[in-house]
Amino acid sequence: MSAREFWRQAFEIMRKDLKIEGRAGEVLSITVPFGAVALLLIPMAIGTEKAMLARIGPGMFFAITLLFGMLVAFRQSATDEPAQRELLTLLGIDPAATFIGRSAASALLLLGFELVLAPLDIVLYNPSPIRGWGWLVLIVLFVAIGLALIGTLAGSVTAGLRTRATLAPLLVAPLSVPLLIASSQVVEALRLDRSILNWIILLIAMNLALTVVGVITARPLEETSR
């Protein structure tokens, strides 16, 4: 298969998943409001001391993103029924293209989720000004991509299992820990004017590793799920 055909298939899979979400509207009507409520409830639970809220604000943003974002990522990977997966096989869709397309759709939805919650986090927690806000935009993108890859991979691993709804989150949660640690440490390093290179490298390496693993295992996982 040519590279052009591969990316065309991946684009079509991404468009299909985004259309499904557009009809269902679960991210906009369910996940985003619950994420916003979670950000609102945390100050009520721990107190309203401004200094403390300003310090934990960025960490809470990434924690809520990972908590609710993995639901978005896994939901996107779980939309296909066995008959739909069989149809994709009959159409000659490369499983690796399916993985890339589905991950891209999840990443876009997660990025939208983050962009909606970010202003609310700033209003509620009033985080201290830090240098290098441009880096935070990049980190938000890396987190969205990484979480999308993890959710899609977990959905592929658990495809066809009766317990996938329980097992997939158990796979996603521990794999998401490096994303939470790295993103939080970047914010802390920027606040203290320290180097963020190591954490950026960790995020890039993790996303690349997840992409390679997902592409390599896409076909074997598809065959075992039949």
CA dihedral (31, 56, 187, 118) positive or negative: positive
The two structure tokens encoding residue 111: 């990025």
pLDDT tens-digit profile of 98-157?
899 989 999 999 999 899 888 888 888 776 667 777 788 889 999 999 999 998 888 888
H or E segment to which residue 3 belongs: helix 3-24
- For residue 102, which of 141, 73, 82, 81 has the smallest C-alpha distance? 73
The mean of the pLDDT values for the chain is: 82
Q: How many residues does the chain have?
A: 226
Yes or no: say if 144 and 111 are a contact pair by the CB < 8 Å rule: yes
Yes or no: say if 86 and 160 are a contact pair by the CB < 8 Å rule: no
pLDDT tens-digit profile of 37-57?
888 888 777 777 777 777 778
**Percent with pLDDT over 70 in the chain:** 86
Show the 3-state SS of 177-225. Answer: HHHHHHHHHHHHHHHCCCCCHHHHHHHHHHHHHHHHHHHHHHHHHHHHC
What is the predicted pLDDT for the residue at 219? 83
Residue 207 above 90 pLDDT?
A: yes
pLDDT interval class at 35 (50, 70, 90): confident
Furthest-apart CA atoms within the chain: distance in Å: 59
What is the predicted pLDDT for the residue at 198? 92
What is the predicted pLDDT for the residue at 88? 67
How far is 147 from 160, CA to CA, in rounded Å?
Answer: 22
Please give the residue that has the higher pLDDT: either 221 or 100.
100
- Give the DSSP per-residue string, 54-87: HHHHHHHHHHHHHHHHHHHHHHHHT---HHHHHH
Yes or no: say if 140 and 118 are a contact pair by the CB < 8 Å rule: yes
The two structure tokens encoding residue 38: 């979670």
Please give the residue that has the higher pLDDT: either 127 or 212.
212
What is the predicted pLDDT for the residue at 79? 56
pTM score:
0.87
What is the predicted pLDDT for the residue at 149? 92
How far is 222 from 154, CA to CA, in rounded Å?
Answer: 13
